[in-house]
Amino acid sequence: MFKGTLLVLLSIGWVQSGSILFYMSMGSNSHWNTWQPLIHKLAERGHNLTVVSPFQDKVLQKAPNVKSVITEIDFTKATNSTAVFSGEKMMNFAKFKDIMIAGQNKVMAMPEIREMVDHKPDFDVAIVFITSIDAVFYALTEIHKIPFAFYFPATRIPAYDFLMGNPVNPSYIPVEFLNYSQEMTFLQRVLNTLVLVGMETFVRFSYWMSISPEVQRHLNLTERPDVWGAGKNAELLFTNSHPIYDGVRPINPNTIFVGGIHCREGKALPKDIQKWMDEAEHGVIYVSFGSILTGSNMPLEKQQQLMNTLGRLKQRVIWKWETEEMTNKPSNILLKNWCPQQDILAHPNAKLFITHGGLLSTQEALFHGVPMIYMPGFADQFANAARAERLGFGKQIDWPDLTEELLYSTIMEVTTNPSFDSTLERMSSLFKDNPIHPLDKAVHSAEFLIRHKGAKHLRPANRHLNWFQFCCLDVALFIGGCLIMILSFVFFMVRCLFRCCCGSRIPSAKLKSQ
């Protein structure tokens, strides 16, 4: 027994135990799922963790070195999930901003949080969910001077690249929501540039300026804080990106790609699902629209279209359906209110994934090599769907365009065209072929911050440059002005010399002719 314990301890290796705060005041379940593996791994390695989030975690509740603070702020209230089926916007930004402010008020009223704000806590580093830049964040990082890193669960967006000093060139780096490829036409580059400038102006001078007064009020500050500027002091940014689908972009060493951090090999399925998939002669189609687009919110017309189409198929279907009840359900459909998604996708009989198109679902399908049909409704899901079509491993159907024939023909195309499987085989291999697993990379980076008390040597100086300084427009104007002055001086001197020389000869020539 003693020898076995000793071997386990030796295999773990020496780890400098640290005190880490994970701060996510609000977010969705998928957001939580992206950094849950990192939290679990750091807890397993013996670090003392304080985890502030909206979600309960059974694993963390049992860990003696983890303190959980549950905010219970419902991110989904900022969404109108029924609007997606008619093609309307699912997210109301003004409402989202109001929920951010209301959430900040609720968090600041919690005794555990107030204690951290009023008295400097003993944290070696804080890892902050990047949308949680609020009064708590400002107090911990600017007042208490705790080194911090950002965590962003989606692919990179310009606002956070600017914070980290990463170059954002609109000539070939498209704004996520425009659904452009990196090879843009002239008009696309024009629109991409205008949208980029408009978005950054709005984010900085509308959104963050509305947050700053709330931070000032909660912390009793005499001056209006620069909350956006405080974000520029981040040591690192963990971003759920991977070049295979995010494209090639320039990054600084302070930006850590952890795309696929949650992806893993399949585990044993529940017995009923295992039997259902093992006995599927023609394979299984898995249907799930995430945690926000629930079946109860789906109009009956859309439910019927999906059910009728799926009932025509020779394949079996596993449909994530919250109630596990459906009137006139076809015999080839199995309803489950919860599904072990990665384990289903890892099964060799998984032939197709019909999905809302969230990034985590996309990464899991890429990892396990399952083609997708996207039915997007929110945020980056449209960009994910457009990217999948462009790269050749998925197809997109918009909810307002949904018909039984369109869905059936799309399913037939994806399940019978071998190009989807060959593309996914190549992309899955590229996605997995990393020198170090994204989770191990994230763990090393977090422990690096503990060992070295931050990573100030990785902060680029361009974070504090104005846009015209970053683009060297002031230098270009200065050099251009100098050149104009020099050329003007040369032109003036040549003109004077020409007049002096030619002007003195003309009268003498006239006299000789007379």
What pLDDT is stored for residue 9 in this prediction?
41
**CB-CB neighbours of 513 under 10 Å:** 6
What pLDDT is stored for residue 444 in this prediction?
96
Non-local CB neighbours of 447 within 8 Å, separated by 6+ positions? 15, 16, 18, 42, 45
What pLDDT is stored for residue 507 in this prediction?
55
pLDDT digits (tens, 9 = 90+) for 460-486: 888 888 878 888 889 999 999 999 999
Homologous superfamily of 17-259+454-467: Glycogen Phosphorylase B; (3.40.50.2000)
Residue with the bigger pLDDT between 465 and 433: it is 433
Q: CA 162, CA 19: separation in Å to the nearest integer? A: 29
Judged by DSSP in three states, 161 sits in: helix
For residue 334, list its beta bridge partners. 318
SS (H, E, C) 11-27: HHCCCCCCEEEEECCCE
Name the pLDDT band for 10 (thresholds 50, 70, 90).
very low
CB 173 within 8 A of CB 249: yes
What pLDDT is stored for residue 394 in this prediction?
94
Q: What's the DSSP call for residue 91? A: B
Q: CA 427, CA 330: separation in Å to the nearest integer? A: 34
What's this model's pTM, rounded to 2 decimal places? Answer: 0.85
271-432 has CATH 3.40.309.10 classification: no
Q: CA 422, CA 210: separation in Å to the nearest integer? A: 49
Burial class (CB in 10 A: 0-12, 13-18, 19+), 451: exposed
Q: Which of 155-169, 222-236, 298-312, 420-434 has the lowest mean pLDDT?
A: 155-169
Provide, rounded to the nearest whole percent, the portion of the chain with pLDDT above 90. Answer: 49
* Plot region of 428 (φ>0 → left; ψ -120 to 50 → alpha; else → beta): alpha
Chain-centroid distance of CA 221 in Å reads 32
What pLDDT is stored for residue 203 in this prediction?
76
Residue with the bigger pLDDT between 52 and 88: it is 52
Among 162, 156, 159, residue whose Cα is nearest residue 471? 162
What pLDDT is stored for residue 130 in this prediction?
82
Per-residue tokens: 395: 């197809």
Residue with the bigger pLDDT between 462 and 4: it is 462
pLDDT digits (tens, 9 = 90+) for 322-372: 876 788 889 999 999 889 999 999 999 999 999 998 899 999 999 999 999
Average pLDDT in the 101-124 region? Answer: 87
What pLDDT is stored for residue 495 in this prediction?
86
Average pLDDT in the 396-404 region? Answer: 92
Asked whether residue 35 carries a pLDDT value surpassing 80, the answer given is yes
Average pLDDT in the 95-105 region? Answer: 76
- b/e per residue, 58-69, with b = 16+ CB within 10 A? eebeebeebebb
What pLDDT is stored for residue 263 in this prediction?
94
pLDDT digits (tens, 9 = 90+) for 47-87: 999 999 988 888 888 889 999 999 877 666 556 666 666 66
Q: How far is CA 53 from CA 25, 33, 130, 477, in A?
A: 5, 12, 13, 49
Element (H, E) at 66: strand 66-70
Average pLDDT in the 483-509 region? Answer: 80
Judged by DSSP in three states, 50 sits in: strand
Q: CA 142, CA 139: separation in Å to the nearest integer? A: 6
What pLDDT is stored for residue 78 in this prediction?
59
Residue with the bigger pLDDT between 72 and 19: it is 19
Average pLDDT value for the chain:
86
In single-letter form, the type of residue at position 387 comes to R
Name the pLDDT band for 104 (thresholds 50, 70, 90).
confident
What pLDDT is stored for residue 83 in this prediction?
62
What pLDDT is stored for residue 178 in this prediction?
82
pLDDT digits (tens, 9 = 90+) for 179-236: 888 889 999 999 999 999 888 887 777 777 778 888 888 888 888 888 888 889 999 9
Q: CA 239, CA 256: separation in Å to the nearest integer? A: 6
Report the relative pairing of strands 19-23 and 48-53 from DSSP bridges.
parallel
What pLDDT is stored for residue 74 in this prediction?
64
Average pLDDT in the 17-29 region? Answer: 88
pLDDT digits (tens, 9 = 90+) for 278-290: 999 999 999 998 8
Element (H, E) at 51: strand 48-53
What pLDDT is stored for residue 333 in this prediction?
94
What pLDDT is stored for residue 5 in this prediction?
43
Please tell me if the domain spanning 17-259+454-467 has the same topology as the one spanning 271-432.
yes
Q: Which of 18-22, 33-37, 421-425 has the lowest mean pLDDT?
A: 33-37
Domain boundaries, the chain: 17-259+454-467, 271-432
CB 182 within 8 A of CB 104: no
Non-local CB neighbours of 272 within 8 Å, separated by 6+ positions? 334
Asked whether residue 98 carries a pLDDT value surpassing 90, the answer given is no
What pLDDT is stored for residue 11 in this prediction?
42
